[in-house]
A and B are shown apart, each in its own frame.
Chain A
Amino acid sequence: MPKSKKEIIAIDSISKIYHLGNNVVKALDDVSISIYENDFISIMGPSGSGKSTLMNIIGCLDVPTKGVYKFNNELISDMNDSQLANIRNEKIGFVFQTFNLLPKLTSLQNVEVPLIYSSLGRKERLQRSEEALSIVGLSDRMTHKPNELSGGQRQRVAIARALANKPSIILADEPTGNLDSKSGVEILNFFDELHKAGNTLIIVTHEESVAKRAKRRVELFDGKIVIDE
C-alpha cells in the first residue's frame, strides 16, 4: 500500500466472540487491518467466516469483544452516541446483505432515511434521493414499496440508500448477490467510478469477477484474515 495515503480505519487485534450456551463462537479471531483513503477492497471467504461481522464492526454498527478500532485516528470506544451516529450518517454508506428496507415506505422514502438524520432541507433530500435512485436505474420505481419490487431492485434501492448522503466510505455486503450479470456489471461500473472519484470501497463478495475489480483482496477463514494483498 502506498504509505502516502491517509489511514482512515485502523483495526488492531479485534475479536468478536459469541457465547451460545456452552458453545463459544469466535466470529472474528484477532483480526488486524488498516484501511486507507481511496482503498478498493474485496473481502472474500466461505460462509460463516466472519465477513459480515467485520463489516458491521467497521460500519460502527457493532462493537468488538476485544481489540482496538480507530476511525480517523479516534477511538471508536471513546465516542458518544451522537458522534457514532454522525459517522454512520455522514462518513459511511452501508449496503446490507439482507437489504433491510422499511416495508411501509416507498423506494424514495427508503432512500431518504439517512438524509432525514442529516441537516439537509426537505427539497434537497428529495432531490438527492431521486438522484441516487436514478443512478441505480430505478427512476421508474420511486413510489413502489419493497414488496412491489424484485429482489434485484430491492438490492439496488439499498445501494441507492447507501449512496444518498454521499459518504466517502462505502461498505457493501454482497451488493451484487441478487443481480443478474448485466445490472451487476452496471453497479460495479458505478463502484469503479466512485473509486475514481476518491471514495473508499469495501465490498464483500463470493464472486471472483467482483473481487478482480478491487485493488486489494482480503480473505477470511474461520474469523481470521488469511490473505491481505
Chain B
Amino acid sequence: MNSLFKNILIGLAAVRANLTRVILTSLGLTIGIFTVSIVTAGVSSIDKEFDKSMEYYGNDKIYVGTWPWSFDFDWWQYRNRPKISEDSLEYITKYSTYISDVSIKKNTWTRGSFGNKASWLQLNGVYPGYDEMLSGTKIVNGRFFSQNEWDLQRRVVIVGGTVRDGFFDGEDPIGKKIRLNNVTFEVIGELKKQGMGMVPGGTLDNLVIMPSSTFSRILTRWGFDELVLKTKPEDMSKAKEEVGMIMRLARKLKPDQDDNFSVNSADAYQDQFDAIKIAIAGMGFLVTGISLVVSAIGIMNVMFVSVRERTREIGLRKAMGATSNNILIQFLSEAVAISIIGGSTGIILVKLITMALSAFSPLPIDFDILLIFYTFMICVFIGVSAGMVPARTAANLNPIDALRHE
C-alpha cells in the first residue's frame, strides 16, 4: 500500500512537470465529460417536463378529436374530416360502459386583458363539472361555474396561474373583471400552477376556462373542439376501443369506411416521446463516445511520448530496485491523473454552465454527487485503458537497454 502510494506520487510529479501538455491532452476528455453531463441532464429534464405534460393530459382521459396526437401527422389527410360535435357525447353516455364522465372542450386562443395588461391566452369552453375531470391541476381559490351559469351562458371564467401572476400581480383574482376578445368576464376561480410543459404554448398555466355555452355564443372564432372522456387508467385501452366503435355509430360510418375522427390519450405520446428521447440520448452518447475514444487515444499518445522521454529514468529506477509493477503503477497514475484533470475540468464547466443557466431559465440539471462519482469512474477507466499499453511497455523495459537509450 505504501509502495503503491510512492509510485503514484512519482507519476503525479511527472504530471506536474508537464502541465501544459497534460492540460491540452485532457481537453478531449473535458469535452467528452461535458457533453455526457449535458446530454444526461438534458434528457432527464425533458423527461420531467414530459411527465408534467402527461399529468396535464391525465392517464385516465380519452380525447376524441379530428387529428391523432402525433408529432408527424399528415395534416392534409385529416383536413376534410367533419368537426367534432357535442351530439356524439349523447351516444357515448348512452352506450359506453367504461366512460364515467364526459365534457366538450372547445379550444381557442385569444387576446386577454386586464387594465393595461394584455396577453395571449388559451381558452377552453367546457361543461359544468369539468373541474372533476381536471388533471394535474385543481381549483385552489374560488369555485368552478355551476349548471345554472352554464344554462344562462354567464360570462364567468376560471383562470390559470400565469393569468393570475400576469394580470393581478399575485393579488386575489376573484371578482376581478378581465376582457377576452373585447367581452368582459368575471373571474370566479383560480387553478393551481403547473409550470412549463411540452404542450402548445409551452406553459400549462395561461389558461382560461369558461362555460362552453358562453364560449359558443361569444367566441365563434377559429379553434377546435374535442370530447374529453374520463375512464379508469386500467380500462384505458378497452375504453378507447369502445369509444372508437361508438363514434363510428354516432357518425354512421359503414364498415368499409375509415374512421374520420381520432381517439387519443396521453400514452400515445409516450411512445413517440420515448423514440425522440432515445434519439437525443443516442446522438449525445455517440458524440460522447467518439470524444471519449479520441481523448483516450490522445492520452495514449502522450503516454507513449512520456515513456520515450523517460526511458533512461525507467532504466535507472529498475536498476535501483524498481519492480515492473512499480513502473507500471507510476505510468498508470500519470495517465489516470491526466484523465481526471480532464474530467474535473468538464465537471467544473458543467457546474458553471448550470449555475449560469439557472439564473435565466428554470431548466433543471441534475448536478449531484453521483455525477461526480460516475465521472471519476469514467476517468479512471479511460486513464487505465489508455495508459495500459504505454505503461506496460515501460514496465517491461530491460534496465540496461533503457539506460543506454539516447
Q: Is chain B found bound to chain A in the same assembly?
A: yes
Residues on the B chain within 8 Å of A90, using CB: 321
Cβ-based interface call for A227 (8 A)? no
Structural contact, A85 and B316, CB atoms closer than 8 A:
no
Among the listed A56, A82, A100, A161, which residue makes an inter-chain contact with B312, where contact means beta carbons less than 8 Å apart?
A: A100
Cβ-based interface call for B398 (8 A)? yes
Structural contact, A113 and B324, CB atoms closer than 8 A:
no
Minimum CB–CB distance from A126 to chain B (whole Å) comes to 13
- Taken together as a complex, chains A and B put the C-alpha atoms of A81 and B321 apart, in Å, by 10
Cβ-based interface call for A77 (8 A)? no
Structural contact, A94 and B319, CB atoms closer than 8 A:
yes
Cβ-based interface call for A59 (8 A)? yes
Q: Which of A59, A113, A119, A165 has the most CB of B within 10 A?
A: A113
Decide yes or no: A85 and B322 within 8 Å by CB, A102-B316, A113-B316, A116-B6 being known contacts.
yes
**CB proximity to B under 8 Å, residues A87-123:** 88-90, 94, 96, 100, 102, 104, 113-114, 116-119
Cβ-based interface call for B318 (8 A)? yes
Cβ-based interface call for B297 (8 A)? no
Which partner residue on chain B sits nearest A112 by CB separation?
B320
Structural contact, A118 and B321, CB atoms closer than 8 A:
yes
Cβ-based interface call for B313 (8 A)? yes
Structural contact, A100 and B323, CB atoms closer than 8 A:
no
- Taken together as a complex, chains A and B put the C-alpha atoms of A116 and B13 apart, in Å, by 14
Structural contact, B399 and A114, CB atoms closer than 8 A:
no
Residues on the A chain within 8 Å of B316, using CB: 100, 102, 113
Residues on the B chain within 8 Å of A96, using CB: 319, 403
Residues on the B chain within 8 Å of A116, using CB: 6, 10
- Taken together as a complex, chains A and B put the C-alpha atoms of A43 and B323 apart, in Å, by 29
Decide yes or no: A61 and B321 within 8 Å by CB, A100-B316, A102-B313, A116-B6 being known contacts.
no
- Taken together as a complex, chains A and B put the C-alpha atoms of A161 and B319 apart, in Å, by 12
Structural contact, A88 and B319, CB atoms closer than 8 A:
yes
Minimum CB–CB distance from A122 to chain B (whole Å) comes to 9
Decide yes or no: A89 and B17 within 8 Å by CB, A61-B399, A61-B400, A100-B403 being known contacts.
no
Chain B 131-155 near chain A by CB (<8 Å), digits 1 or 0: 0000000000000000000000000
Decide yes or no: A114 and B320 within 8 Å by CB, A61-B399, A100-B403, A102-B313 being known contacts.
yes
Residues on the A chain within 8 Å of B317, using CB: 113, 117
Structural contact, B398 and A62, CB atoms closer than 8 A:
yes
Minimum CB–CB distance from B111 to chain A (whole Å) comes to 75
Among the listed A62, A86, A100, A102, which residue makes an inter-chain contact with B321, where contact means beta carbons less than 8 Å apart?
A: A86
- Taken together as a complex, chains A and B put the C-alpha atoms of A89 and B317 apart, in Å, by 10
Minimum CB–CB distance from A159 to chain B (whole Å) comes to 14
Q: Which of A86, A117, A119 has the most CB of B within 10 A?
A: A117
**CB proximity to A under 8 Å, residues B37-80:** none
Cβ-based interface call for B326 (8 A)? yes
**CB proximity to B under 8 Å, residues A47-90:** 56, 59, 61-63, 81-82, 85-86, 88-90
Decide yes or no: A114 and B321 within 8 Å by CB, A61-B400, A104-B17 being known contacts.
yes
Decide yes or no: A81 and B319 within 8 Å by CB, A61-B399, A100-B403, A104-B17 being known contacts.
no
- Taken together as a complex, chains A and B put the C-alpha atoms of A56 and B316 apart, in Å, by 12
- Taken together as a complex, chains A and B put the C-alpha atoms of A146 and B398 apart, in Å, by 24
Structural contact, A117 and B398, CB atoms closer than 8 A:
no
Structural contact, B313 and A88, CB atoms closer than 8 A:
no
Minimum CB–CB distance from A107 to chain B (whole Å) comes to 15
- Taken together as a complex, chains A and B put the C-alpha atoms of A88 and B399 apart, in Å, by 11
- Taken together as a complex, chains A and B put the C-alpha atoms of A224 and B148 apart, in Å, by 122
Structural contact, A88 and B320, CB atoms closer than 8 A:
yes
**CB proximity to A under 8 Å, residues B1-31:** 2-3, 6, 10, 17
Chain A 115-157 near chain B by CB (<8 Å), digits 1 or 0: 0111100000000000000000000000000000000000000
Minimum CB–CB distance from B277 to chain A (whole Å) comes to 52
Structural contact, B400 and A62, CB atoms closer than 8 A:
yes
Structural contact, B400 and A82, CB atoms closer than 8 A:
no
- Taken together as a complex, chains A and B put the C-alpha atoms of A104 and B16 apart, in Å, by 12
Minimum CB–CB distance from B395 to chain A (whole Å) comes to 9
Chain A 8-44 near chain B by CB (<8 Å), digits 1 or 0: 0000000000000000000000000000000000000
Which partner residue on chain B sits nearest A101 by CB separation?
B316
Decide yes or no: A88 and B398 within 8 Å by CB, A100-B316, A102-B313, A116-B6 being known contacts.
no
Minimum CB–CB distance from B405 to chain A (whole Å) comes to 11
Residues on the B chain within 8 Å of A94, using CB: 319-320
Residues on the B chain within 8 Å of A104, using CB: 17
Structural contact, A81 and B324, CB atoms closer than 8 A:
yes
**CB proximity to A under 8 Å, residues B351-406:** 398-400, 403
Which partner residue on chain B sits nearest A120 by CB separation?
B2
Chain B 242-276 near chain A by CB (<8 Å), digits 1 or 0: 00000000000000000000000000000000000
Structural contact, B321 and A117, CB atoms closer than 8 A:
yes
Decide yes or no: A117 and B319 within 8 Å by CB, A61-B399, A62-B398, A100-B403 being known contacts.
no
Minimum CB–CB distance from B314 to chain A (whole Å) comes to 11
11 A-B residue pairs with CB within 8 Å: A61-B319, A62-B400, A82-B323, A88-B318, A88-B320, A94-B320, A96-B403, A102-B316, A113-B316, A116-B10, A117-B321
Residues of B within 8 A of A (CB): 2-3, 6, 10, 17, 312-313, 315-326, 398-400, 403
Q: A89-B320, A90-B321, A94-B320 are in contact. List 7 more A-B contacts (CB 8 A).
A: A63-B398, A81-B324, A85-B324, A96-B403, A100-B312, A116-B10, A117-B317
Residues of A within 8 A of B (CB): 56, 59, 61-63, 81-82, 85-86, 88-90, 94, 96, 100, 102, 104, 113-114, 116-119, 161, 165
Closest 6 CB pairs of A and B: A89-B321, A117-B321, A114-B320, A85-B323, A62-B400, A61-B399
